[in-house]
Structure 1
Amino acid sequence: MRRGFGSVRSKAALGATLVVALALVAAGIAVLAVLRGNLTDQADLQAEADARGVASQIATGEPFKKLESEDHHPMQVVDDDKRVRAVSDHLEAVSGTGSKSVKAHPSPTTSGDDGHSGDGDGDDDDSDDDDGGGGGGWGNGPGRAKVSDDVDMSGGTATVHGRTGDYRFAAVEARTPAGEKVTVYVGAPLAAEQDTVSTVRGAMLIGLPLLLVVVAGVTWLVTRRSLRPVEGIRREMAAITASEDLGRRVPEPQARDEVARLARTTNETLAALQASVERQRRFVADASHELRSPIASLRTQLEVGAAHPELLDVEGAVEDTVRLQNLAADLLLLARLDAGERPADTRVDLAGLASGEVARRSASVRGRVAVRAGELAPGEVLGSRGQLGRVLGNLVDNACRHAESEAVLSVRAEGRWLVLAVADDGAGVPAPERERIFERFVRLDDARSRDDGGAGLGLAIARDVAARHGGTLTVGASPRGGACFELRLERAGPPR
């Protein structure tokens, strides 16, 4: 396994770190926003409470020069003409309020600092200033002294005792007992909010990298431990490739996870590959063995004929040549089947195929076995007529080789299947050997001659062709006492 940045462990650690980093950054931004909002709301409430307290003092007739907020926050009182009527002590500069001035100006309509109008009762402005008992956002109160229920919040700065800071200002309107309307501005400092947010932000900036390092390290270790069996599988596969020993197997972890399933699947693949290679080797060895006999016989006859023409066995030479030709054709067909060649989609009449085979073999085989037709149900299948004819021919050859007197061909319908049966009256096939006879180069009667028994490829070819056509080929007992081979194929649908 590669140890560099391109390894699975590095990619997993990097991916997990990036995901966690994005999640933490988003969560941190949200936390800071919520924290800042909550602290700002607290400052707003504090400023509003102080502003209403000052407004209540004005409504009760407190002189402007004696006004002060309860918490000694920056305070400014501004009338409708933007004149500053009162400011808190030690306020040196302000912004975000009704006026930037921090110097109080006396009222032109007052005779002193008591905040009362010069005419005492001020009844001449009743029609304009009376709100009819608290309308327009003004609270109820005796006479004209009122405090508005509305409050406006704004941000600004203030300099107190030479120190400038950010404030949240609450603006509340009030009326003096003389009917004069002013706006009270009181600010609550944001220093605590800013300090808290800065502290939390600093903690996040310190903790986030540490947490990401922990996440990356844990992910690296967990991934390393999880992929350790994969590295073992890779090493073993590399060793198998180098040694070409398909009998070796990769280690299977005890855990029942994806890696364990991968190991089991790899071993199954190796087992199938080993079986395939061994089967191929046996096939090559058996084919070489089968080819050696007719070639040696043919060579001997030709050498004898060359030395003594009168002793040349022409018929034997021709028979050996035919055997070689048939064996080569069988081997070529098996190679094509092993390569995955798919049959054609021709419509084949099984009953007609069986009738043609019976007609071709109307004469007895070697003078002792007769081939006849039984019940032939009509029906068609899709496939290669040549390959299906080859299967039928191999089955009939096998039946004639082992039958006592006759071989019977029949076709019957079973639902959506057509079954082509070839039965004989011979000795039959023992039950333990009914699957083995379909292996390549297998002969149950090892004592018989090759001339009588063939190469042992006919039934193997027949089963492979049946499988390529989506069907099956099985053997059982015949009602006549011998063997009954059944080729089962799916019936073709109606033609378009």
Structure 2
Amino acid sequence: MRSVRARAALGATVVVAPALAGAGLAVLLVLRANLTDQAGLQAEVAAREVAGQLALGVPDDELRTGDEEEHPVQVTDEDGRVVAVSKDLEAISGTGSERVTPVARSSAGPGRHGGEDGDDDDDERGPGGAGPPRGEVSTGDPDFTNGAATVDGDSAAYRFASVEATDPAGVTLTVHAGAPLAAEQRAVGSVRGAMLAGLPVVLLVVAGVTWLVTRRALRPVEGIRREMAAITASEDLSRRVPEPGSHDEIARLARTTNETLTALEASVERQRRFVADASHELRSPIASLRTQLEVGAAHPQLLDVPGAVADTVRLQALAADLLLLARLDAGERPGGAVLNLGALVREEVAQRTGDRIPVTVSVPGGGGGFEVAGSRAQLARVIGNLLDNAERHARAAVTVAVRAEGGGVAVEVADDGDGVPAAERERIFERFVRLDDARSRDEGGAGLGLAIARDVAVRHGGRLTVADAGERGARFALWLPDAR
């Protein structure tokens, strides 16, 4: 089943069906319990009424049992013998005895025997001679059972209540009175039938509503899919998918898709510019080197060897920069070696013997305590690029300061040149970007040094920014997290 709408409709139906079935079963059980309790209450009332008559000494054959069809009655003694039944009772079950033919019981018993001296009247009086003796009816909760009875040829299910009573002779009798369960069965059957008939209808409604709602909700997705297919076919990354006016997940998906297309378009455009700029930067030294070699081949005495070497060095440096950028773009992770950034700064400055302007280094405490984790070669490249940039623009001073800052190590490289305009402080970190004054210098680089420096800093979990150095000049601040 490939359609999301179909799967959603089927899933909703599968979830709702057992829920409705469980709810319906619970309703049926509660309804049956309530109706059964009502029948039990009616049976208890009928049983206590007969038990009260037995407690008053009414003879077994004179018991009033009410409506025999509504409340069949069976009375048993302590031995389980049937001593009385309601009229027209032909069969019974569920009361402990299935006999419906009563047996005669002796009227003799405690308090019912005549005395030898003719004290019958005294014996028949209650305590203190106040009246005839009486039995009692049990006040405890009756026992309930389900059974069946046949009265005058009609068989039905009954709820029986069993109540104990003691007659005036002290004999304990048990009255079993029933109440019909026909009303309970009819009500439960009607409700069950209605539920069975309505369940398929409800499930069809749930499936249909889920289908329609899902179809409407997913309609923008189909528009997004068609537009993405068109973008893929046309390779036009300037196109965007339609964004619905809702504020749901589909709208967020469309916005995220457009943001992804924007980032992809910018990435492709950067790649195109990168290739174009790299070709431009490579073309000049290659053309110069070819010209010198062609002149040298025709006129060896005119060969400019130092110039050829300089162009070759420039090509080599540019190729190394391009290779490093390619590795950074490929996601190359820096190493995990721990190194002292203060010592690294001192070493890089000490190796720069041909700088136009001497570099002043400030590393407090002899350079200890400035440990960071990463690639020594890449971080040395960052320091060297920052120093090259400062040497290119400085007038008379270049300073480097190392200090602990914000849970990491900060390195500041400052010069006293013309500084960087505020509007250009982010642009100078783009690849092949050089300000006009830098392009006017013959010794100007290809515009990759600062881009490489920032990329390496970010890869190491740090940052590289530029700001004013006071009255004049620029200050580049490199921050790297402490190795700990």
TM-score range, shorter chain: 0.7 to 0.9
Deviation at 1:286, TM superposition (A): 0.7
The residue that corresponds to 1:71 in the other structure is 67
Deviation at 1:330, TM superposition (A): 0.5
Deviation at 1:253, TM superposition (A): 1.9
Question: Out of 402, 411, 422, which is 2:413 matched to?
Answer: 422
Instruction: Report matched runs for 1:74-473 at 5 Å.
Output: 74-107=72-105, 109=106, 116-117=107-108, 121-122=112-113, 142-150=132-140, 151-177=142-168, 181-363=172-354, 365=355, 369-377=356-364, 378-379=367-368, 380-382=370-372, 383-414=374-405, 416-445=407-436, 448=439, 451-473=442-464
**How many angstroms apart in 1 are the aligned matches of 2:482 and 2:101?**
109
The residue that corresponds to 1:42 in the other structure is 38
Deviation at 1:198, TM superposition (A): 0.9
TM-score after normalising by structure 1: 0.84
Deviation at 1:329, TM superposition (A): 0.2
CA contact (8 A) 1:51 1:172 kept: yes
CA contact (8 A) 1:122 1:179 kept: no
Q: For residues 441 and 82 of structure 1, do their structure 2 counterparts lie closer, same or farther at Cα, with a shift above 3 Å needed?
A: closer
The AA in structure 2 aligned to 1:43 is A
**How many angstroms apart in 2 are the aligned matches of 1:347 and 1:169?**
90
Deviation at 1:175, TM superposition (A): 4.7
**How many angstroms apart in 1 are the aligned matches of 2:80 and 2:235?**
98
- C-alpha RMSD over aligned residues: 3.0
Deviation at 1:193, TM superposition (A): 1.2
**How many angstroms apart in 2 are the aligned matches of 1:173 and 1:405?**
120
Q: Secondary structure at the match of 2:436?
A: coil
Instruction: Pick which of 37-46 and 325-334 moved more.
Output: 37-46
Q: Secondary structure at the match of 2:133?
A: coil
**How many angstroms apart in 1 are the aligned matches of 2:102 and 2:340?**
118
**How many angstroms apart in 2 are the aligned matches of 1:175 and 1:346?**
100
1:20-50 deviation digits (Å, cap 9, x = unpaired): 2222222222222222122122222222222
The AA in structure 1 aligned to 2:389 is N
Instruction: Pick which of 261-270 and 372-381 moved more.
Output: 372-381
**How many angstroms apart in 2 are the aligned matches of 1:152 and 1:417?**
83
CA contact (8 A) 1:144 1:179 kept: no
Instruction: Pick which of 271-280 and 446-455 moved more.
Output: 446-455
Q: For residues 98 and 284 of structure 1, do their structure 2 counterparts lie closer, same or farther at Cα, with a shift above 3 Å needed?
A: closer
Aligned length: 465
The residue that corresponds to 2:119 in the other structure is none
Q: For residues 156 and 123 of structure 1, do their structure 2 counterparts lie closer, same or farther at Cα, with a shift above 3 Å needed?
A: farther
CA contact (8 A) 1:362 1:370 kept: no
TM-score after normalising by structure 2: 0.86
Q: For residues 42 and 409 of structure 1, do their structure 2 counterparts lie closer, same or farther at Cα, with a shift above 3 Å needed?
A: closer
1:213-257 deviation digits (Å, cap 9, x = unpaired): 222222222222222222222222222222222111122222222
Gaps of 5+ in 1: 110-115, 125-129, 135-140
The AA in structure 1 aligned to 2:67 is D
Deviation at 1:53, TM superposition (A): 2.1
Deviation at 1:327, TM superposition (A): 0.6
CA contact (8 A) 1:92 1:162 kept: yes
Gaps of 5+ in 2: 116-122
**How many angstroms apart in 2 are the aligned matches of 1:449 and 1:178?**
134
Q: For residues 289 and 43 of structure 1, do their structure 2 counterparts lie closer, same or farther at Cα, with a shift above 3 Å needed?
A: same
Deviation at 1:328, TM superposition (A): 0.3
Q: For residues 153 and 332 of structure 1, do their structure 2 counterparts lie closer, same or farther at Cα, with a shift above 3 Å needed?
A: same
Identity percentage of aligned residues: 66
The residue that corresponds to 1:11 in the other structure is 7
Deviation at 1:447, TM superposition (A): 8.7
**How many angstroms apart in 1 are the aligned matches of 2:280 and 2:427?**
20
1:165-222 deviation digits (Å, cap 9, x = unpaired): 1112233344555555543332221111111111111111112222222222222222
**How many angstroms apart in 2 are the aligned matches of 1:346 and 1:119?**
109
The AA in structure 1 aligned to 2:414 is A
The residue that corresponds to 1:33 in the other structure is 29
Deviation at 1:117, TM superposition (A): 4.9
**How many angstroms apart in 2 are the aligned matches of 1:483 and 1:178?**
122
1:256-279 deviation digits (Å, cap 9, x = unpaired): 222222222221111111111111
**How many angstroms apart in 1 are the aligned matches of 2:82 and 2:408?**
107
The AA in structure 2 aligned to 1:170 is A
Q: Secondary structure at the match of 1:159?
A: strand
Q: For residues 260 and 123 of structure 1, do their structure 2 counterparts lie closer, same or farther at Cα, with a shift above 3 Å needed?
A: farther
